[in-house]
Amino acid sequence: MEIRLAYVDPATFEIPDGMTAVGFIGAGDALAYDVDRRPHRIADGVAEPLDPAEVNAALSPAVEAGASRLWPEGWSYALAEAFGLNRRSLQRDRMAKNGLHPTVLRELGVLSCHDDAEGIGRLAHALAWYADRCSDGGHPVERLADAERGAVNALASLRQVRRGRVTRPGEDADK
């Protein structure tokens, strides 16, 4: 079984209510999980249960492919830190046995399927780092809100500096 983690457009693929679409199986059927984390093949809006052991065995290459697009210089540490995962859960044998949470699979596919995947990976890792180390919020959502505010502040400063050529006092800016 070949799995590709990617964004599954609900306007194109009819995913049954309550299911989390994480990508595709083979040539184009969607892969989705029900609320009990059981995998299903979705074809024409119809969910066909799949063998979890078979799906989990195929997850490792799919996770590696998606994560390598986001963090081509090494993904296991960055993925674990960005998504708040235990690094051991990303080991091949553990994925083959336990899989990964459907939300992790979905968001890995969403982030990695674009042309700017490496840039998005760097941003996600930096924002998670900021949230985990610079926020005093108690809940992870609060910490991410702090990281969002930090990103807005950083962007405001970058806009100021990159607006035009930065010159020394007394220099002519038009030279």
Q: Is 53:39 a contact under the CB 8 Å cutoff?
A: no
Is the Cβ–Cβ distance between 39 and 31 less than 8 Å?
Answer: yes
pLDDT digits (tens, 9 = 90+) for 118-164: 999 999 999 999 999 998 888 888 999 999 999 999 999 988 888 87
pLDDT at position 172 over 70? no
Q: What is the DSSP letter of 170?
A: T
DSSP string, 16-34: PTT-EEEEEETTTEEEEE-
pTM confidence score:
0.86
Alpha helices by DSSP H, the chain: 52-70, 76-83, 92-98, 102-112, 117-134, 140-162
Task: For residue 112, give both structure tokens.
Answer: 């990695």
